[in-house]
Amino acid sequence: MNPVYLDNNATTKVAAEVFEAMKPFFCERYGNPSSMHSFGGNVARDVAAARAALAALLGASSPQEVVFTSGGTESDSTAILSALATSPERREIVTSRVEHPAVLNLCRYLARDKGYTVRWLSVDREGRLDMEEVQSKISDHTAIVSVMWANNETGVIFPIQQIGEIAHERGALMHTDAVQAVGKIPLDLKASAIDFISLSGHKLHGPKGIGALYVKRGTRFSPFVLGGHQESNRRGGTENVPGIVGLGTAARLAAKNLDEENDRVRRLRDKLEQGVMAGIPFAHLNGHKEARLPNTLNVGFEFVEGEAILMRLDEKGICASSGSACTSGSLEPSHVLRAMGVPFTSVHGSIRFSLSRYTTAEEIDYVLTELPGIIHFLRSVSPFGRENLEAICRVH
Amino acid sequence: MWEYSDKVKDHFFNPRNVGALEDSNAVGEVGSLACGDSLKLFLKVDPDTDRIIDATFQTFGCGSAIASSSALTEMLKGKTVQEAMDITNKDIADFLGGLPKEKMHCSVMGREALHAAIAHYRGQPSPAEQLEGELVCQCFGVTDLQIKQVATENKLTTVEEVTNYTKAGGGCGLCHEKIEEILLQIRGEQKKDEAPPVPAAKRMTNLQKIAKIQEVIEREIRPMLQQDGGDVELVDVEGARVLLALRGMCTSCPSAALTREGIEAKLRELVLPDLVVEEVA
């Protein structure tokens, strides 16, 4: 039986069309796009077509603004380190407390070992930034502002364009980790105040191991991976041709009917959310209700622990993820939920459901039939909240 | 994803003995909502025979926390209180066919709840109160005595292992040095227990001994303390008593007791196994 896969912010299924498009580039058209012979040289056209498709999805002004990389993490490192290298007189980075580890741990490293000052932006209980704080922390010392477009755990969307304008007023560069946003919200980078965007293939039904960095034309740039002349001297190493072709196809699919698809996903997500809230007492939404990706639902269930919920969901063939400490191997729960000040009673029991264009209404119905029983059972085992729950049950 | 044994999965999906026990006469509660796991253990003990007639639990926690609790209740039934006291966290983990190393603290939580319940039955203060000690890990509220006990019982040698078994050090990480010191201290004490009389040491004259202590302090101890803005001075040596004065940051350091024990362990290791360090003003 295929699983009910509601963990699409972790990774997605490779679209059948993507896989088909990639296939010839393994055993048949395996040439190197840099070669002088036509067998290899022709492959360069497919790489160019993929670049154009991705540029179109991003609303970039030219395909040349797209640099292919190995994924979101490499793109993040490239953008931030490039900004620091090209503005040596500026020693500060502004970023948020809820970034993905790809940015968070890089910034911690730069602060600890390289002497940079990192100005951390906090979030409120609904996971949103305080724009006054953003304004006050970006200064003439800021080399780069790096704030994610949408949060991977809660789906909360940040006002990136507005932050980019503030950054530019102070002469700083603007980077956004848009790994969760690309393909889920319409983008138009031509008119934006954004210099760098990181994205990853496997979050939008492309393959793993391929990503891209958008570099706005005219932006000062210093490469991260040094080597050959590939990617116009911006990223060394022979191109991951099957991955690039796959990402190009994924971008084409995402651009097609983006609004319709996302409306459908949003309706399914809302159905799941309403069903959970109506059917399970002591469940709270984590993250702002409106300013949120259409596919993401993060709920905190009080008095139960996330790993136990996931194990029981898994037994029923349902894949989700948790911000609980026990699932990560660390002992501390999600840095995102803690930064939001989610209370201890529900932070350990927080579950993220993330849908995709392949999610069906039947799957959502199935989750809604299984989940309440799981939460109820674990609460019956738990020593906490018993009195509250019993009081609620008496009322009903 | 964790590699759980079939027995862990069985006890998680079909936990035995869940719920409060109406007529229990021994209850032990450990952990908290904030820490991410908590166990309340209920025992019914026959006061005439000291035998455990029934055991149940309520647990908030991950799969292995629920499985460890369920396993513990099964292990306890029919045992005398004295036999139950001998159950170690390793016994609980073994009963389940092993636990992932990062999850060993779930078995430790089981043993702690058991000891708390038995103390309750016997009318003694809870082990947590007896084991007050000094708070080492602020994030998870773990004291030096708890760490010492679990580390000794399970022969733990690294900070990572201590974190896996007690959670101490699993948060902000500021207490890692303190945990190192405790481990160092345990090693020193074990050396003392194991070490047969050292003939070479016995032949040491008082002057040789003082010179050797001075050398170890200069070479090993002071550089370590000075890193944290502290310092130490050798005041006197009387027989096996080494009188030291802590200086600088050490005087106001909340872990001064640990520092003293750390120095003692080092001197025992490198000079004589029977030295006792005392702090003088």
Instruction: List the domain boundaries for chain B.
Output: 6-129, 131-192, 196-279
CATH code of B196-279, in short, is 3.30.300.130
From chain A, the residues in CB contact with B66 under 8 A are: 308, 381
Do A96 and A56 lie in one domain? The reply is yes
Whether residues A220 and A338 fall in one domain: no
Cβ distance of A344 and B163 shorter than 8 Å? no
Whether residue B19 and residue A380 make contact (CB cut-off 8 A), yes or no, is: yes
Say which residues have a Cβ less than 8 Å from residue A120's Cβ, sequence separation at least 6. A95, A96, A97
Residues A64 and A83 in one domain: yes
Looking at A189, A224, A255, the residue that finishes a domain is A255
For residue A222, the surrounding DSSP H or E stretch is: none
User: CA of A139, closest CA in chain B: separation in Å?
Assistant: 30
Statement: residue A184 has pLDDT above 90? yes
In angstroms, rounded to a whole number, what is the distance separating the alpha carbons of residues B179 and B164? 13
Higher pLDDT, B259 or A280: A280
Tell me what ipTM this predicted complex has: 0.87
Write out chain B residues lying below 8 Å of A331, CB-based. Answer: 36, 139-140, 163, 167, 170-171
Give the model's pLDDT for residue B196. Answer: 56
Q: Do A331 and B65 touch (CB under 8 A)?
A: no
Confidence at residue B200, expressed as pLDDT on a 0 to 100 scale: 46
Give the Cα separation of A119 and A124 in Å (integer): 17
Residue A3 lies in a domain: no
pLDDT score for A384: 84
Cβ neighbours of B140 in A, within 8 Å = 331
Helix (H, G, I), strand (E, B) or coil at A4: strand
> What residues of chain B, 161 to 180, have a C-beta less than 8 Å from chain A?
163, 167, 170-171
- The residue among B125, B120, B168 whose CA lies nearest residue B148 is B168
Average pLDDT for chain A = 94
Does A342 fall in a domain? Answer: yes
Residue A112 lies in a domain: yes
For residue A385, the model assigns a pLDDT of 64
Domain boundary among A235, A255, A275: A255
Give the mean pLDDT of A127-139: 98
Q: Residue A238: is its pLDDT beyond 60?
A: yes
For A197-219, what is the mean pLDDT? 98
**Residues A41, A43, A47, A48: is their CA dihedral positive or negative?**
positive
Residues A316 and A243 in one domain: no
Domain range spanning residue A91? 16-255
Is pLDDT above 70 for A396?
no
Report the pLDDT value the prediction gives residue B54, as an integer from 0 to 100.
Answer: 97
CA distance A178 to A197: 6
Residue A6 falls inside a structural domain: no
Residues of chain B in contact with residue A313, where contact means CB-CB under 8 angstroms, are none
B35 is catalytic: yes
Instruction: Select the more confidently predicted residue: A252 or B36.
Output: A252
Smallest Cβ–Cβ distance between A348 and the set B36, B63, B140 belongs to: B36
Give the count of domains, chain A: 2
In this structure, are A388 and A281 located in the same domain? yes
Q: How confident is the model at residue A392 (pLDDT cuts 50, 70, 90)?
A: low
Q: Are residues A279 and A200 in the same domain?
A: no
**Closest in B15, B102, B171 to A332, CB measured:** B171
Tell me whether strands A92-96 and A196-200 are parallel, antiparallel or unpaired: unpaired
**A204 and A110 co-located in one domain:** yes
- Domain boundary residue among A219, A238, A255? A255
A1 is a domain residue: no
Average pLDDT on A167-185 reads: 97
Q: Name the residue among A296, A286, A298, A265 with its Cα closest to residue A340.
A: A286
Say if residue A38 is in the same domain as residue A79: yes
Do A243 and A337 fall into the same domain? no
Choose from B8, B38, B60, B167 for mutation: most chain A CBs within 10 A.
B60
pLDDT for B198 equals: 47
Q: Give yes or no: residues A248 and A290 share one domain.
A: no
B68 sits in which H/E element? helix B63-76
Tell me the sheet residues that pair with A200: A211
Q: Are A85 and A215 in the same domain?
A: yes
pLDDT tens string A290-345: 999 999 999 999 999 999 999 999 999 999 999 776 666 667 788 999 999 998 77
Mean pLDDT by 10 residues, chain B (281 residues): 92 96 94 85 96 96 95 96 94 95 91 94 80 81 88 91 89 89 87 56 69 84 78 82 78 65 83 83 65
B131-192: CATH topology is: Arc Repressor Mutant, subunit A (1.10.10)
SS3 category, B182 = helix
Query: In the numeric block, which tokens belong to residue A121?
Result: 């932006």
Give per-residue pLDDT as tens, A17-72. 999 999 999 999 999 999 999 999 999 999 999 999 999 999 999 999 999 999 99
Tokens 């319709």 sit on residue: A260
Which CATH number is B6-129's, of 3.90.380.10, 3.30.530.20, 3.90.1010.10, 3.20.20.70?
Answer: 3.90.1010.10
Domain CATH code at residue A325: 3.90.1150.10
The pLDDT tens digits for A68-120 are 999 999 999 999 999 999 999 999 999 999 999 999 999 999 999 999 999 99
**Closest Cα in chain A to B12:** A308
Instruction: Say whether both A243 and A343 belong to one domain.
Output: no
Of A182-191, A227-236, A373-382, B132-141, the poorest mean pLDDT is in: B132-141
